[in-house]
Amino acid sequence: MSIEVLLTPIQSFLKCETPQAWVDEAKKKENLDIVLIDHLICELKAAQSAMFLIRKYAVDKESANALLAWLEPFETLIYKREGDWRVLPEKNKLSKAVIPKSDSDYGQNLIDKMVVLIKEELHHFYQVLEIMDEYNVEYRSITPCRYAKGMLRNVKTFEPDAMIDKLIVGAYIEARSCERFAKLAPHVDKRLGDFYISLLRSEARHYQDYLTLAEEIAGHDISERIAFFGEIEAELILTPDEDFKFHSGVPACSLND
């Protein structure tokens, strides 16, 4: 499938295009480390978010603990700086089957979609570490971007609306990631550009999985809520941002040039 075919529904879903000022900042050689480190963290956060949804809404305590054990070596590497990243591929598997709660109407579908997504995100996490190793970029702690928090603060506090909102937010984060992979790919060297295109190909359906789950669980038309978060997402992308990251807005420094 061509890149254009993959991107067309993503671009239709998003309310705005990534500004050229962000692309110009992201392609600077001196920003390669922050792009890669933040991308690495984004992959882990995506896996954590999907896992949170399964643990909170779909499984019993035993299955929840198995999920936490799956994620532990990846989190330990980042948060405690312990472990060898080269062994992570053999750690990327569940130790037991995850069983939905007996009273959950959507549990199995949520588990099925999110477990596949988690495996892919953790695989991509490892691939970013490989790239960082090749480019001699050392991991360091960085501050979180305003992007995800800016959307999550608008999530409703009661269920099932809170869950539906989180799924919609997940859809926008995944869609924007894909759009930015496509934006960056032509402006970096072939190794990195090919990597971004491979991520676009494998992650292009993630936002649709989130949306499908949100619609199925809601059981009614949620187009207004999707549009609501689309406007918030676009504002975060199009407004000045002092903190340059993978999902940041218009670099404030570009406005002073």
Q: By the 8 A CB rule, do 26 and 182 touch?
A: no
Lowest-confidence range among 95-109, 152-166, 197-211? 95-109
Domain of 165, CATH number, reads 1.20.1260.10
Task: Determine how β-strand 240-241 pairs with β-strand 250-251.
Answer: parallel
Condensed to tens digits (0 to 9), the pLDDT of residues 195-236 reads 999 999 888 899 999 999 999 999 999 999 999 999 999 999
Residue 27 has pLDDT above 60, yes or no: yes
Q: What is the pLDDT of residue 257?
A: 57
Report the distance separating Cα 77 and Cα 72, nearest Å. Answer: 9
Range of the domain at 187: 3-256
Report residue 77 as tokens.
Answer: 């590497």
Q: By the 8 A CB rule, do 110 and 213 touch?
A: yes
Is pLDDT larger for residue 170 or for residue 98? 170
Q: Say how many C-beta atoms besides its own lie within 10 A of residue 89's C-beta.
A: 12
Structural domain tally of the chain? 1
Q: HSE on the CB side for 21, CA within 13 Å? A: 17
Residue 256 has pLDDT above 70, yes or no: no
Q: CA–CA distance from 91 to each of 60, 102, 119, 214 (Å)? A: 22, 29, 10, 30
Q: Which residue has the tokens 């879903």?
A: 13
Question: How large a percentage of the chain has pLDDT more than 90?
Answer: 86
Report the distance separating Cα 198 and Cα 182, nearest Å. Answer: 10
User: What's this model's pTM, rounded to 2 decimal places?
Assistant: 0.95
The stretch 175-190 carries a mean pLDDT of: 96
